[in-house]
């Protein structure tokens, strides 16, 4: 620990160093001077130092790089979040640690921070209550203390299942050991089988004595549990045999084994009178209530505990702290040293659109498309929201039915025609089609060999296509479904199944359409289309959001110098926001991520789609395509086919997506198979 200066002997006038500075006195001095604007004299008084020392500190802070022109932004963030949490919830103190740390898991680092906090507060004669959980055990394990006189550590609840290592007993005994303190257990289970058993047990002299000591606690160290399925409250067996839905629906978290609502009020249920240990009223009587908790899944629970003041010292991490504050409407302050220019109102805020009534746009667009391509597509009888190939169904051929929301023109009707999809159902703007038109299309194009539905992974599309499939099957049609997941930006590889399906869909449509046109059976068509879908990788970026028809306003906001990476084709915002880069840098950014997942080897063949999201013109697409081809060549890959243009748009969103299909011989041959549809034509060789 950095030695505090000798002249800084604490007097009543001296404020103890706030927790959020850890034990870094220099950081505290620098903060007071540069962020709070105190004079060196005021700082000297506040810190209990001489003015000369403050002067030296500030100089040191500069040379040590704590203060250069800006305080390291991450540290600034931790400090400002800690300060805001302390002010907003009227806490005694607050410590915020970086979410991304030195490689150790967050729980371990939270535990270490909690240990530091406890160490700064603990005094001889203390009675410290302790709950259980991962963070609490990590705290106990991280604590290293020479020991103080007459300290008692008491379990705040009875015991839990032995299935977990962070039981109340383990947490209390480890903490007692670290403090060289006496450990007082609660000799009973935390949850007993009935209210009567609890009352009987509490009358036992041993337990009554232990409970009396618990009531004398002057500090408590506790965790906060969410009620998510993976939370401690579930794994520790607390809810075994209890239906959470029927009893604890209104609870958002749990502390000391008690359930709390979003406002921190107790939520009563079957466990309330069967729990042995501290209750929320007793908790409120403990003067210092230290909670150690972090992780964005816990935000709702921590917020609830803070609102009801169950906690008055909080140890958490930046992402969690920021989340809690955001939920309370707080926004991160701008740095004093970096005044952000005030931006002018978005120039594209109100769009001009060539439409009649917004609610007629989908039907009128479809009407115009049918007339423009009447040799290729025709309306599906019985619905205004589906089109089919003009050639009609072919006996013995698998029928490919695709679909999704409108606003992606020429998706989806543009991919209907010989050698491609047999029918497409469309919904409202950016909204999945209902089962009705999907079912009508299925009936209209069924050739007796089964149907293959292909659509992107959006909850609306999944639910509606599944309902349509159930209805079609009830009518005796055979249906297989492929849910595409090509958008690699939308979720990490571990949760690949939750990715969106976007522009890369058209490779799946093309392969499926070719397989069906070759009269292959349903299972084979399905397997080939699935292989194509699984070998397709897409990533997109937006320069401007789409503007909706009825409001003519952007669907999300993007600053004048920003681009959004990983945007969804439905106008959803993306996953990361960056400063706008050059075309080549953008192409590299998209391609690098795609190649990292695709892992092609030298000489492999790929198909490329450079797709406009609607507002980006051909010139920019070709500039990007040029760079993509340069890079693919340098990587030793052969481009079998390139598609460049607006294939799968998002109204007038400015931006592009890049899709690569990793080909093999069979897929390459199917890609070359002739097709004739409004948006894609491949000629007979």
| Nearer to another protein among residue 116 and residue 318 (C-beta) | 318
- Cα separation, 131 vs 154, in Å, equals 9
625 tagged catalytic:
no
Min dist CB 499 to another protein, Å, is 8
Residues 458, 509, 537, 647: which binds another protein (CB under 8 A)? 458
- Cα separation, 416 vs 420, in Å, equals 6
| 509 contacts 422 by C-beta, under 8 angstroms | no
Which of 494, 490, 526 minimizes the C-alpha distance to 400?
Answer: 526
| Nearer to another protein among residue 90 and residue 326 (C-beta) | 326
Is residue 558 near another protein by the rule CB under 8 A?
no
| Nearer to another protein among residue 158 and residue 323 (C-beta) | 323
Two tokens, residue 663: 């080909």
Two tokens, residue 546: 């789409």
Is residue 364 near another protein by the rule CB under 8 A?
no
| 513 contacts 519 by C-beta, under 8 angstroms | no
Is residue 391 near another protein by the rule CB under 8 A?
no
| Nearer to another protein among residue 184 and residue 366 (C-beta) | 366
Residues 548, 590, 606, 661: which binds another protein (CB under 8 A)? 548
Is residue 262 near another protein by the rule CB under 8 A?
yes
Torsion of CA 591, 592, 595, 596, to 10 degrees: -150
Is residue 550 near another protein by the rule CB under 8 A?
yes
Is residue 263 near another protein by the rule CB under 8 A?
yes
570 tagged catalytic:
yes
Is residue 68 near another protein by the rule CB under 8 A?
no
Catalytic residue among 145, 338, 373, 570: 570
Instruction: Tell me which H or E stretch contains 406.
Output: strand 399-406
In sequence order, the β-bridge partners of residue 400 are 452
Residues 414, 571, 646, 655: which binds another protein (CB under 8 A)? 571
Min dist CB 587 to another protein, Å, is 23
Among positive and negative, which fits the CA dihedral 439, 445, 449, 455?
negative
Is residue 299 near another protein by the rule CB under 8 A?
yes
State how beta strands 253-255 and 258-260 pair: antiparallel
Of the listed pieces 61-69, 121-129, 232-240, 291-299, which binds another protein according to CB under 8 A?
291-299
Min dist CB 571 to another protein, Å, is 5
* Chain centre to alpha carbon of residue 672: 39
Is residue 551 near another protein by the rule CB under 8 A?
yes
Is residue 242 near another protein by the rule CB under 8 A?
no
Which of 181, 88, 81 minimizes the C-alpha distance to 130?
Answer: 181
Two tokens, residue 300: 């709702």
| 137 contacts 170 by C-beta, under 8 angstroms | yes
List the helix and strand counts (H, then E) for the chain: 22, 24
Is residue 411 near another protein by the rule CB under 8 A?
no
Is residue 405 near another protein by the rule CB under 8 A?
yes
Of the listed pieces 172-180, 308-316, 454-462, 529-537, which binds another protein according to CB under 8 A?
454-462
Catalytic residue among 408, 625, 662, 673: 408
| Nearer to another protein among residue 56 and residue 555 (C-beta) | 555
In sequence order, the β-bridge partners of residue 220 are 129, 289
Is residue 555 near another protein by the rule CB under 8 A?
yes
Is residue 235 near another protein by the rule CB under 8 A?
no
Is residue 570 near another protein by the rule CB under 8 A?
yes
Torsion of CA 98, 99, 102, 108, to 10 degrees: 100
| 647 contacts 633 by C-beta, under 8 angstroms | no
Is residue 656 near another protein by the rule CB under 8 A?
no
| Nearer to another protein among residue 327 and residue 375 (C-beta) | 327
Is residue 339 near another protein by the rule CB under 8 A?
no
| Nearer to another protein among residue 160 and residue 231 (C-beta) | 231
DSSP secondary structure string for all residues of 385-403: SEEEETT---TTPPEEEEE
Which of 122, 316, 319, 361 minimizes the C-alpha distance to 220?
Answer: 122
Residue matched to tokens 């009707």: 413
| Nearer to another protein among residue 11 and residue 459 (C-beta) | 459
Q: Helix 665-672 to helix 522-534 angle, to the nearest 10 degrees?
A: 100
**Active centre residues (catalytic):** 408, 570
Binding residues vs another protein (CB under 8 A)? 226-229, 245, 249-250, 252, 261-263, 296-297, 299-300, 303-304, 319, 322-324, 326-329, 359, 405, 427-436, 458-460, 463-464, 467, 490-491, 498, 500, 548, 550-551, 554-556, 566, 568, 570-573, 575
């Amino acid at each position: 620990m950095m030695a505090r200066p000798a002249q800084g002997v604490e007097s009543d006038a001296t404020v103890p160093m706030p927790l959020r500075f850890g034990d870094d006195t220099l950081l505290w001095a620098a903060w007071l001077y540069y962020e709070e604007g105190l004079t060196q004299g005021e700082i000297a008084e506040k810190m209990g130092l001489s003015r000369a020392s403050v002067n030296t500190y500030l100089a040191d802070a500069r040379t040590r790089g704590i203060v250069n022109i800006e305080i390291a932004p991450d540290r600034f963030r931790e400090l400002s979040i800690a300060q805001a949490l302390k002010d907003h919830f009227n806490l005694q103190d607050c410590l915020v640690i970086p979410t991304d740390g030195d490689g150790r898991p967050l729980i371990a680092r939270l535990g270490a921070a909690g240990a530091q906090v406890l160490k700064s507060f603990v005094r001889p004669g203390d009675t410290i209550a302790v709950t259980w959980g991962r963070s609490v055990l990590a705290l106990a394990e991280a604590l290293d203390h020479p020991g103080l006189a007459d300290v008692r550590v008491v379990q705040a609840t009875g015991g839990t299942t032995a299935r977990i290592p962070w039981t109340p007993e383990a947490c209390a005994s480890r903490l007692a050991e670290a403090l060289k303190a006496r450990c007082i257990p609660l000799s009973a289970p935390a949850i007993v089988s009935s209210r009567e058993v609890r009352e009987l047990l509490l009358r036992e002299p041993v337990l009554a004595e232990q409970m009396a000591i618990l009531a004398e606690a002057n500090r408590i160290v506790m965790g906060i549990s969410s009620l998510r399925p993976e939370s401690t409250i579930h794994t520790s067996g607390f809810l075994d045999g209890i239906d959470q839905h029927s009893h604890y629906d209104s609870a958002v978290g749990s502390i000391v084994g008690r359930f709390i609502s979003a406002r921190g009020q107790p939520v009563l249920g079957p466990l309330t009178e069967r729990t042995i240990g501290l209750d929320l009223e007793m908790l409120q009587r403990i003067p210092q209530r230290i909670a150690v908790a972090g992780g964005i899944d816990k935000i709702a629970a921590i917020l609830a505990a803070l609102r009801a003041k169950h906690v008055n010292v909080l140890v958490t991490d930046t992402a969690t702290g920021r989340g809690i504050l955001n939920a309370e409407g707080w926004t991160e302050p701008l740095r004093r040293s970096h005044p952000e220019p005030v931006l002018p109102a978005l120039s594209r805020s109100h769009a001009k659109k060539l439409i009649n009534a917004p609610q007629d746009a989908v039907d009128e667009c479809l009407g115009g498309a049918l007339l423009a391509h009447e040799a290729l597509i025709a309306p599906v009888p019985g619905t205004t929201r589906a089109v089919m190939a003009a050639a009609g169904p072919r006996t013995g051929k698998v029928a490919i039915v695709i679909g999704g929301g409108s606003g992606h023109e020429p998706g989806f009707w543009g991919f209907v025609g010989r050698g491609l999809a047999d029918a497409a159902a469309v919904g409202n703007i950016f909204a999945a089609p209902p089962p009705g038109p999907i079912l009508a299309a299925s009936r209209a194009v069924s050739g007796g060999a089964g149907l293959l539905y292909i659509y992107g992974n959006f909850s609306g599309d999944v639910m509606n296509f599944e309902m349509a499939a159930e209805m079609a099957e009830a009518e005796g049609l055979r249906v297989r479904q492929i849910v595409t997941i090509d958008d690699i930006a939308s979720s990490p590889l571990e949760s690949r199944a939750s990715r969106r399906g976007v522009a890369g869909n058209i490779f799946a449509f093309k392969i499926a359409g070719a397989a069906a046109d070759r009269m292959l059976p349903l299972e084979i068509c399905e397997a080939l289309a699935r292989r194509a879908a699984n070998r397709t990788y897409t990533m997109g970026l937006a320069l401007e959001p789409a503007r909706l028809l009825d409001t003519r306003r952007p669907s999300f906001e993007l600053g004048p110098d920003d681009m959004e990476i990983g945007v969804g084709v439905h106008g959803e915002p993306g996953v990361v926001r960056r400063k706008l880069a050059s075309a080549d840098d953008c192409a590299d950014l998209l391609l690098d991520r795609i190649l990292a997942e695709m892992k092609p080897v030298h000489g492999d063949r790929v198909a490329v789609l450079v797709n406009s999201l609607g507002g980006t013109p051909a010139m920019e697409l070709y500039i990007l395509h040029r760079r993509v081809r340069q890079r693919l060549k340098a990587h030793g890959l052969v481009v079998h086919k390139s598609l460049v243009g607006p294939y799968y748009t998002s109204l007038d969103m400015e931006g592009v997506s890049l899709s690569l299909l990793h080909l093999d011989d069979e897929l390459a041959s199917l890609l070359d198979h002739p097709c004739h549809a409004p948006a894609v034509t491949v000629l007979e060789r």
